[in-house]
Structure 1
Amino acid sequence: MTTFQDGAESVTPAGYVEPQLLIDGDWIGADARHAEPIVNPATGRAIGRVPHATAQDLDRALAAAEREFPKWRKVNPRERGRILKRAADLLHERGDAIAQLATLEMGKPLFESKIEVHVACEELEWFAEEARRSWGRIPPGRFGDTRFSVIKQPVGPAAGFSAWNFPIGNATRKLGTALAAGCPMIYKPGEEAPASALAVARCLVDAGVPAGVIAVVFGVPDTISRHLIASPIIRKISFTGSIPVGKHLIKLAADTVKRTTMELGGHAPVLVFDDAPQEAVLDQSVQRKYRNAGQVCVSPTRFYIQDASYDAFCAGFAARAKALTVGDGMDPATVMGPMVHARRRDGIEALVQDAVAKGAKLLAGGERIGNDGFFYAPTVLADVPGDARIMTEEPFGPVAVLNRFSGLDDGIAKANSLPFGLAAYAFTQSLSNIHRLSDEIEAGMFAINSFNISMPETPFGGIKESGLGSEVGTEGLDAYLVSRTISVT
């Protein structure tokens, strides 16, 4: 057991590697730097500490990215692809150990962490292949002998910022996309799950990414982001996180007109029509709602059920939620783990209490579980009034909100009623419904008759206040490339 300067006690689990900074090829520990405890959300006890980067550390990372950019951009895309493919192989080989890191730090069940590793490997492999296809075009000429061409080139050093909820997947997307395009990246993951993200960086370094091409730093988010975004060296910003923070970063980036990709929050609606297979929809809905304790940006949250099916759907949802096994993610029996930290649990509790006070029916959950860790029961609210905070604020937790809708027009209006538009879902067997929903639902990603919202080949991103641009897919790679027009006469 270790006692930190702030009095927090730490018990480091077997196999847990205390996080370090990665700067210009050097792995730098917490000695002589401010550090904060890393807490296992299943126990509430610290398991290590994460060092904060100093201003000098950030300047060193920036200088390394500037130095290495001219070299990395000239590495043949095939060779960049080979390095990324080797990194994917290493991630696969180390997958079980890396998955355990994510479960210890984030709390999600181990089987979910293993799925996250698998998806991360697939995305790295896809970018390894797509890196070879970042070519331009030669349009037909119209001015005599003048020949026009459009070329695509790496935008330059990038800064990546992401939340803690998918520490393996977020790291893979940020670093893998930038590297595939030919851009160095300074990456700041969430401090809640640092070792998981660093394990991805270690795979990339061991696969052959040169020193200085990637850096991983930690610290006070606003301090780190202001320092990096203000630098003229950084030419591209990529952020995954909340809408308020995203808006703040967009304002900072505007001062120097930096390119941005913003994958921000949502409040995903689900329309369940009377003609949908109700039992199958219930099984899928409960599994996806409580995945990662609801701490997922595309998590289904606002369920609208057509009138004739409403009462039975509510009863079925509540029964399934009550049957879920909640516990430590390292326990094979666990289906849902804890919230990532106490303030997330407290925030969910406040939203649920507000909804009930305003007339919502509490069908399941609505309470903390146990005295250790940050557990909150899978919760179901029905007949939630429109003035309840949870109807307009993304809960980002294990709460499902159930309400009625009458017909197609009513359903579309309710689904589109918020200024968010990341993900949306609908279940119906009617082809006419599908056509209208496809045209009129306002979301960057819309799944019909399943919750399968994305794959490496498709863009991941939102519209309205849910973001700018996309990650993954060819669109994700294009975000790190500038298009230039060349004419020769």
Structure 2
Amino acid sequence: MKEYQLFIDNEWREGGNGTLDIINPALGTITARVANANTEDLNFALASAQKGHEVWRQTPPKVRGSLLLRAADILESKIDTAAIATCHEQGKSAAEASGEFIRALETLRWSGEMAAELCAPIIMGGNRTMLPEPIGVVAAFTPWNYPAVISARKLAPALAAGCAVILKAAEESPASAVAIIEALQEAGIPAGVVGLIFGHPPMISKHLLSSKIVRTVTFTGSTQVGKQLAEQAAKNLQSCILELGGHAPVIIFDDADIQKTAELISEYKFESAGQSCNAPSRIFVQRPIYNDFVSAFKKVAKAIVVGNSEDKNTTMGPMIGQRAIDRMQRLTDDAILKGATVILGGAPLKGPGYFWPPTLISNVPSDALILIEEPFGPIIPIIAFDNIEEVTSQANKSNYGLASYIFTKSEDTQRKVIDQLHTGSVTVNMLMGVRADVINPGIKDSGYGYEGGIEGFRAFQTLKLVNNASATTFLHKG
């Protein structure tokens, strides 16, 4: 059986706390094992990263960028194998897993190509120059739901900026992170510049963040854990990049293309079994087209084939585990108890594995938990509305503020709704995909800081101001 190891000081090694089982969510059986780090492993990783950072920060940005480009080429040659392992661990369909790795490659390449430009001195004039410098050792925490692309979005810009990174990847789906680290190793990354650890999350986060070696924390995951990490980081004044939960509203006006909108929402909502913080999770439909939209959306959702990712006909795989199934049942039962109507799905599928079908709920009262908590699964309420003021007020009631979506042909309506929605991003007449050159911003309980794009790259830098009476420019070390 495959056992994934820790990567510290440019060597693969066993964990001091033995191994943890990795469960195939489609079968409910053990598919592999992963090393479980202890405090000795963490101390070694910290010391190695501290030494590696001093070497890496002095490495010319163009050289750092070239290494990332080589790593991307190496990873690309191994996508098929890595994607299959991800399917077994996380439950994605083969197409979803391969697509995620392609986005990870784009992130590695974008960061590699931008390294020299974004690390160059910024000439301010008046004998002033700003020097972008690597912020320091980064502790990166990634979730199980998009293990390849999120690992890449944290590793690539930090490495391009000149930072050493300790990546704490999810134990549930380690294969993606291992594949990326293997590619970096093969590309020639110096010892200590990147480390990979697995293990008990609270112990690891507490230990890493208690060290003054770590200067920046980047985390994608739940709001609850994000707040805990921010509190821990405050003790050493470590900066934080927190991409947390979401409860994305979709607002559909009566001039929208009903069929096209239903197909787009279905495609994005049920990707990865709805286990995405940016996925649509509340649908608001203007009353004149409400019944027509519900009928169209139900038909599209009903056509989704739920099953094992190894079946080529499968279009939606399982949820990650029993706790996720229990959450879907709790949210559904609560909505029914409060007067809602389940119009599709509503119960787990029988047999092995953790399968919950696409579930549509109508007549949802405002106090239903499905409108308050992040569902993080293939369950979605559909609510009727009459006007802009009403729907934006309802959409903004959520404590989350990550993504939102609008469907309307009216540019005037678009402008009004964009202005009134309290979310980090608003996407109009399309659905948002993660791109290397674009930020994924959150506000309110969805976090703060930027991941992706130029702003996400700059998050791993400090700016040193140089005032020099005898010179106005700096030669860039390349």
Q: Secondary structure at the residue paired with 1:139?
A: strand
Residue 89 (1) aligns with residue 73 (2): yes
Residue 284 (1) aligns with residue 264 (2): yes
Range that drifts further, 315-324 or 153-162: 315-324
Range that drifts further, 176-185 or 448-457: 448-457
Pairing 1:259-278 to 2, within 5 Å after superposition: 259-278=239-258
Q: Secondary structure at the residue paired with 1:329?
A: coil
Paired position in structure 1 for 2:327:
347
Confirm or deny: 8 A CA contact 2:104 2:148 kept in the other structure.
yes
Paired position in structure 1 for 2:113:
129
Match of 1:119 among 103, 117, 121: 103
Residue 26 (1) aligns with residue 6 (2): no
Residue 51 (1) aligns with residue 35 (2): yes
Distance 1:216 1:243 in 2: 23
Paired position in structure 2 for 1:100:
84
Distance 2:246 2:121 in 1: 34
Distance 2:189 2:113 in 1: 16
Deviations 1:316-345 (A, max 9, x none): 222222221000012110000000111111
Paired position in structure 1 for 2:357:
377
Distance 1:455 1:447 in 2: 14
Match of 1:452 among 422, 432, 440: 432
Distance 1:446 1:241 in 2: 21
Pairing 1:410-429 to 2, within 5 Å after superposition: 410-429=390-409
The alpha carbon displacement at 1:453 in A equals 4.4
Pairing 1:322-337 to 2, within 5 Å after superposition: 322-337=302-317
Distance 1:320 1:357 in 2: 27
Q: TM-score of the superposition, structure 1-length normalised?
A: 0.94
Paired position in structure 2 for 1:74:
58
Range that drifts further, 463-472 or 453-462: 453-462
The alpha carbon displacement at 1:447 in A equals 0.6
Paired position in structure 1 for 2:214:
234
Deviations 1:412-467 (A, max 9, x none): 11221112111100000001011112222221121100003442111112111111
Paired position in structure 1 for 2:156:
176
Distance 1:189 1:388 in 2: 34
Residue 299 (1) aligns with residue 284 (2): no
| Counterpart residue type for residue 426 of structure 1 | I
Deviations 1:340-397 (A, max 9, x none): 1111111111111111111111010011112200011111111111111111100000
Confirm or deny: 8 A CA contact 2:103 2:434 kept in the other structure.
no
| Counterpart residue type for residue 46 of structure 2 | L
The alpha carbon displacement at 1:27 in A equals 0.7
Deviations 1:4-28 (A, max 9, x none): xxxxxxxx4xxxx421111111111
| Counterpart residue type for residue 41 of structure 1 | P
Q: Secondary structure at the residue paired with 1:369?
A: coil
- Structure 1 140/211 Cα, relative in aligned 2: closer, same or farther at 3 Å? closer
Q: Secondary structure at the residue paired with 2:45?
A: helix
Confirm or deny: 8 A CA contact 1:85 1:125 kept in the other structure.
yes
The number of equivalent residue pairs is: 468
Distance 1:211 1:140 in 2: 39
The list of structure 1 runs, each at least 4 consecutive aligned residues, that deviate by more than 3 angstroms after superposition, is none
Identity %: 39
The alpha carbon displacement at 1:256 in A equals 0.7
Unaligned runs of 5+ in 2: 470-478
Confirm or deny: 8 A CA contact 1:446 1:453 kept in the other structure.
no
Residue 473 (1) aligns with residue 458 (2): no
Q: TM-score of the superposition, structure 2-length normalised?
A: 0.96
Q: Secondary structure at the residue paired with 1:235?
A: strand
| Counterpart residue type for residue 362 of structure 1 | V
Could you say what the CA RMSD is over the residues aligned between the two structures, in angstroms? 1.1
Residue 365 (1) aligns with residue 345 (2): yes
The alpha carbon displacement at 1:223 in A equals 0.3
Confirm or deny: 8 A CA contact 1:18 1:195 kept in the other structure.
no
Distance 2:103 2:22 in 1: 25
Distance 1:263 1:353 in 2: 29
Distance 1:317 1:417 in 2: 25
Confirm or deny: 8 A CA contact 1:65 1:157 kept in the other structure.
yes
Confirm or deny: 8 A CA contact 1:423 1:453 kept in the other structure.
no
Paired position in structure 2 for 1:486:
466
Confirm or deny: 8 A CA contact 1:131 1:180 kept in the other structure.
yes
Distance 2:436 2:11 in 1: 31
Distance 1:453 1:329 in 2: 22
| Counterpart residue type for residue 118 of structure 1 | I
Distance 2:318 2:256 in 1: 32
Confirm or deny: 8 A CA contact 2:3 2:35 kept in the other structure.
no
| Counterpart residue type for residue 332 of structure 2 | V
Paired position in structure 1 for 2:473:
none
Paired position in structure 2 for 1:194:
174
Paired position in structure 2 for 1:3:
none
Paired position in structure 1 for 2:318:
338
